[in-house]
Chain A
């Protein structure tokens, strides 16, 4: 696959993944309201284009790292939705066997380290994955997702600098959704773009419309080319917006309503659907079929999760050491 040659099948596939991300979050939202899921959850509706655009440029063996907001990353990377849903239900068939939960979704064998819920905690880990790829002479890369908030924690500086000086095969992806919890980016950062900080490490920094999935794919594609050919990391900033509150319990009153409304006008899933149908790449009928098949897949995932066994209490004691 390459940037200039996204064919119809690939585009339809990316669109389907985005719909899957969106509808997954919608289901999870209601499952939480109904009290059927334990714990807390940080949802990613509105950020599908960044998740899918990034992961569409990855190949088998590449690894992503993620954050407290990992649902779309996991889906975009292609983890089975059943195993994600089962994890949210705290079932033993979940991708972390019920030990991880929403904030730690992942499955390394399928290209995703368990998500890291410590802000910035995944940046050194991705860098380490890339060091292992380089050392072992593998052609793979690490793709490291983090938020705008993470750009202000020490690990961001320490790890990106290492990635840069050692020319590691890693792409640092900042999903700038304008807020870290209730805190607006401009309150905690003097530069306008996170990507400007790349200059401090001597690597390219690029800011891209994070709601345009093909733009994200193209930018990610060039960053992966650089990474795979030994030229080192790129800091990719994807400008986007979360439609929900920060977490399950957050009504989001700190965001101006006009701002939320303006971003909802730029809904990445709707934008892509319109682009694909306008360009005649998908017929309306085909788009509808995608929506229907996603609904069906999610229906089955919820059923699978609900019917799966819970772990035993004593399973708490296993997996501490290898």
Chain B
């Protein structure tokens, strides 16, 4: 599948195009150059002749920054997360990663009980400026290598959650995450990496994005209108932004103008942007790859239903994965991941029935 890139405002445009992997790598290296305290922790991230992490994001960084700052760990996710949190409290700015987001469950105690709560339990005396990067998304690897886990972390007070859909946002948000004084869970989608060569993902989409050479940051809590429209608002993140944009193009051919909002960060969340759009279009749907029940979309539906009650002409709909684990067989996986067709059908139904 090949999709046109996400639209970005003209002011942000530049001639240079990067993949997500290249943009994230650039964010890491820029921040490491400007701040000695930034170190990387993870499995297989800096081994000579190795991978540069599971998806090549850290390739070449050990050569530039040395093994003192690009630290290869044993397979020990709980300790990776906890050591990052401890080092953060001790004055460093660690960027840790897990090879697949699914392994965050192993690190859950250190993230949810330690990193997220040190500040609160200390009466505000401690800060934990760490980033935990985690690839998500189903890619025919089955139930333990394809989950989307954003909702687990949006539920924990004290954690920030970012989820960029394109290289420009990836770089700007990762730099902001590293400078943030709080623990940030940074989700990346496997099909958006644009990894090349042997690490190329089957089914990956080409999201080459304009990334200016000049330094920039993207603040947390600012959603982006990825496509303006007047008839319905579609809120999405990660891969689902691209499926929603594709759906919007199909809907446009049928005379329906969908507005697509890329949330960019889930915590903090840009309630104003979504509420403003929903009031304008009077119809809202949310698209996420996570399981339906208790997904972050459920929170958006509940809150917008509350804030915008009386401004909406239709029920708020969610398009999400069914409440099942991720299946292996491609035919089942295609059924599992929300498709462009389902987004189109749902939007069309909302617009035509209400």
Contacts A250-B198, A310-B329, A311-B329 hold; do A150 and B140 have CB atoms under 8 A apart?
Answer: no
Contacts A117-B144, A249-B198 hold; do A316 and B77 have CB atoms under 8 A apart?
Answer: no
Per-position contact with A for B288-330: 1 when CB-CB < 8 Å, else 0? 0000000000000000000000000000000000111101111
Contacts A101-B142, A317-B324 hold; do A311 and B331 have CB atoms under 8 A apart?
Answer: yes
Interface assignment of B210: CB less than 8 Å from any CB of chain A = no
A119 to B202 alpha-carbon distance, docked (Å): 24
One of A103, A120, A182 near B141 (C-beta < 8 A): A103
Q: Which of A91, A116, A121, A317 has the most CB of B within 10 A?
A: A317
A314 to B322 alpha-carbon distance, docked (Å): 11
Per-position contact with A for B181-211: 1 when CB-CB < 8 Å, else 0? 0000000000000000011001000000000
Interface assignment of B145: CB less than 8 Å from any CB of chain A = yes
Closest Cβ neighbor of B336 among chain A residues:
A316
> Which residues in chain B, 38-53, are within 8 Å of chain A measured between CB atoms?
43-44, 47-51
> Which residues in chain A, 103-127, are within 8 Å of chain B measured between CB atoms?
103-104, 116-121
Interface assignment of A271: CB less than 8 Å from any CB of chain B = no
A153 to B198 alpha-carbon distance, docked (Å): 28
A251 to B325 alpha-carbon distance, docked (Å): 31
CB distance from B109 to the nearest CB of A (A): 10
Interface assignment of B143: CB less than 8 Å from any CB of chain A = yes
Closest Cβ neighbor of A120 among chain B residues:
B75
Contacts of A99 in B (CB 8 A): 142-143, 327-329, 332
- Is B331 within 8 A of A90, CB to CB? yes
Interface assignment of B346: CB less than 8 Å from any CB of chain A = no
Closest Cβ neighbor of A101 among chain B residues:
B328
Contacts of A39 in B (CB 8 A): 140-142, 328
Contacts of A100 in B (CB 8 A): 142-143, 328
A118 to B199 alpha-carbon distance, docked (Å): 20
Contacts of B199 in A (CB 8 A): 249
- Is A98 within 8 A of B328, CB to CB? yes
- Is A313 within 8 A of B334, CB to CB? yes
Interface assignment of B74: CB less than 8 Å from any CB of chain A = yes
Interface assignment of B14: CB less than 8 Å from any CB of chain A = no
- Is B331 within 8 A of A313, CB to CB? yes
A116 to B334 alpha-carbon distance, docked (Å): 23
Per-position contact with B for A187-215: 1 when CB-CB < 8 Å, else 0? 11100000000000000000000000000
Interface assignment of B335: CB less than 8 Å from any CB of chain A = yes
Interface assignment of B102: CB less than 8 Å from any CB of chain A = yes
Interface assignment of B106: CB less than 8 Å from any CB of chain A = yes
Interface assignment of A262: CB less than 8 Å from any CB of chain B = no
Contacts A101-B142, A181-B43 hold; do A310 and B49 have CB atoms under 8 A apart?
Answer: no
How many pairs, one residue from A and one from B, have CB atoms within 8 Å of each other in the complex?
A: 134
- Is B328 within 8 A of A254, CB to CB? no
A3 to B134 alpha-carbon distance, docked (Å): 47
Contacts A103-B142, A118-B106, A314-B335 hold; do A251 and B198 have CB atoms under 8 A apart?
Answer: yes
Contacts of B271 in A (CB 8 A): none
Contacts A99-B327, A119-B75, A182-B50 hold; do A315 and B142 have CB atoms under 8 A apart?
Answer: no
Contacts A181-B44, A249-B199, A251-B198 hold; do A188 and B51 have CB atoms under 8 A apart?
Answer: no
Q: DSSP majority for the A interface?
A: loop
Closest Cβ neighbor of A103 among chain B residues:
B142
CB distance from B329 to the nearest CB of A (A): 4
Interface size on B, residues (CB 8 A): 41
Interface assignment of A2: CB less than 8 Å from any CB of chain B = no
A315 to B328 alpha-carbon distance, docked (Å): 11
Interface assignment of B7: CB less than 8 Å from any CB of chain A = no
Interface assignment of B78: CB less than 8 Å from any CB of chain A = yes
A254 to B76 alpha-carbon distance, docked (Å): 21
Contacts A181-B43, A314-B335 hold; do A98 and B327 have CB atoms under 8 A apart?
Answer: yes
Interface size on A, residues (CB 8 A): 45
Interface assignment of A38: CB less than 8 Å from any CB of chain B = yes
Contacts of B73 in A (CB 8 A): 188
- Is A316 within 8 A of B328, CB to CB? no
Contacts A39-B141, A311-B329 hold; do A153 and B75 have CB atoms under 8 A apart?
Answer: yes
Interface assignment of B103: CB less than 8 Å from any CB of chain A = yes
Contacts of A312 in B (CB 8 A): 331
- Is A182 within 8 A of B331, CB to CB? no
- Is B50 within 8 A of A254, CB to CB? yes
- Is A316 within 8 A of B142, CB to CB? no
One of B75, B102, B198 near A152 (C-beta < 8 A): B75
Closest Cβ neighbor of A149 among chain B residues:
B75
- Is B75 within 8 A of A154, CB to CB? no
- Is B51 within 8 A of A182, CB to CB? yes
Interface assignment of A96: CB less than 8 Å from any CB of chain B = yes
Interface assignment of B31: CB less than 8 Å from any CB of chain A = no
Contacts of B333 in A (CB 8 A): 316
Contacts of A38 in B (CB 8 A): 140, 202, 328-330
Q: Which of B50, B74, B329, B334 has the most CB of A within 10 A?
A: B329
Interface assignment of B72: CB less than 8 Å from any CB of chain A = yes
Contacts of B49 in A (CB 8 A): 182, 253-255
A313 to B329 alpha-carbon distance, docked (Å): 9
* Extra contacts besides A188-B73, A320-B323 (18): CB < 8 Å: A38-B140, A38-B328, A39-B142, A39-B328, A40-B141, A91-B329, A101-B142, A103-B142, A117-B144, A152-B75, A153-B74, A181-B51, A182-B47, A183-B50, A310-B329, A313-B332, A315-B332, A316-B332
A-B contact pairs, 22 of them (CB 8 A): A38-B328, A98-B327, A100-B328, A101-B328, A101-B329, A119-B75, A149-B75, A152-B76, A180-B43, A181-B44, A181-B50, A182-B50, A183-B74, A188-B72, A188-B73, A188-B74, A188-B75, A249-B199, A250-B51, A253-B50, A311-B332, A316-B336
